[in-house]
Amino acid sequence: MADLLRLLLRVAEKAANVARVCRQEAPLFQLLVQEKTGEDKNKKFVQDFKTLADVVIQEMIRHDVGTQFPEMAGFIHGEESNKFENGLGESVTVTVCSTEEETAALLATVLDGDHTAASLLARAIHQDPTTIDTSTDGLAVPLNPSELGVWIDPIDATSQYIEGREEALDEGHLSPSGLHCALVLIGVYLRSTGEPVMGVINQPFNHRDPAGGRWRGKHFWGVSYGSINICSVSTTKDGPKGERGLSAVLSSSEKQVVKETLTSLCGPDKLMYASGAGYKILCVIQGLADVYVLSEGSTFKWDSCAPHALLRALGGGVVDLTKSLQASCEAQDCKTELTYHQPHNECKGADRWANHGGLVAYRDCSQLRSILGALRDKL
């Protein structure tokens, strides 16, 4: 499993580099931005270039993991389908080819013959990242790749990625929106039980290099299986919970009744808002918020699997909110933790993998119970 972790860290850094290149290289950025401003809505236009960037990153991760771990190849899934229709109405399947030239030629058919953009994208896909400096030596987890599945969110908080606002990050405080909310998420789960066992998060726009001003990323990882719980993020040693009070982060589109209930529970200055489902769970991991509460079914397995594994490694987790509110108080929280192996067969498309019951991401069980107590009979 240490090999798998090292591979995921490397491929997440490659993915982060593709995300940076798509904003740094003008021909690619133009394609990215045009879709957002919508000024080409009526022009024959490459279908949603943002999605192409997502798909390219997802296919690159799928290609690299499936090559090194063939037993996992059929169980590596993500948000996007790799089938594209180009401007001529031809259906093109986006894959990573064995050479950069072949990948560029394939991408050019999706990019309506824009060979400049295709070559820039292909170069980023085939470029090996700088070495990943993290200590995974000696990590031995008794799991076989054939027991595992992978969820990929190539660029979470895509709206923030396209918007591209650069917010000055205030150490120790979460920042509601901006490029830093965009994350590459790669989560690994046990096919038998659906529990998350490994997560890699890469924040491609963590800070600008003081020297050249280029964006630099930051990665976070965690492994949680049986008695093995290791996370690259150290737990924050705060004062006794009671003294500090509870802080919560929400989506700006959260229900009014949840906002009101948590305002009275936490106090108005301890209720925060931020973009990005993955980013809000990362805020809980880093101790920038105690909990992330979401009453809507607007997130998916690819949003939560990776950061869920890091929270498990820190002694916390991500529960299904609806199921937790229905469960008797004595029920163990682990019975309502989100799982990642079974679709909702009554639904179609991406909804088959939605976290329909909403969620609560937490580090500390007692804080989870406070949230559930306050929301019981409200939803």
156 catalytic? Reply is yes
CB of 90 or CB of 166, closer to ligand 2IP: 166
Task: Provide the H-helix boundaries in the chain.
Answer: 2-24, 26-37, 49-68, 100-110, 115-126, 158-163, 241-244, 256-266, 277-285, 301-313, 321-326, 365-375
CB contact at 8 A, 280 and 249:
yes
Element (H, E) at 91: strand 91-93
Sequence-separated (6 or more) residues with CB below 8 Å from residue 233: 220, 222, 285, 286, 310, 314
CB contact at 8 A, 181 and 276:
yes
CB 253 → ligand 2IP: shortest distance, Å? 5
> Under rule CB under 6 A, which residues in 33-92 are in contact with ligand 2IP?
79
Site string for ligand 2IP, 116-155 (x = CB under 6 A): -------------------------------------x--
Q: Does 80 bind Ca ion (CB under 5 A)?
A: no
The item of Ca ion, ligand 2IP, none sharing an interface with residue 336, based on CB under 5 to 8 Å by kind, is none
Q: Does 156 bind ligand 2IP (CB under 6 A)?
A: yes
Q: Among residues 13, 195, 303, 320, which is the contact residue for Ca ion, using CB under 5 A?
A: 303
Q: Does 153 bind Ca ion (CB under 5 A)?
A: yes
**Distance between CA atoms of residues 341 and 360, nearest Å:** 19
CB contact at 8 A, 245 and 267:
yes
CB contact at 8 A, 344 and 357:
no
Q: Which two tokens stand for residue 36?
A: 């957002």
How many residues bind Ca ion, per CB under 5 A?
3
CB 161 → ligand 2IP: shortest distance, Å? 8
Nearest residue to Ca ion, by Cβ distance, number only: 156
Nearest residue to ligand 2IP, by Cβ distance, number only: 251
Site string for ligand 2IP, 268-297 (x = CB under 6 A): -------xxxx-------------------
128 catalytic? Reply is no
So which residues are the catalytic ones?
A: 54, 79, 153, 155-156, 158, 303
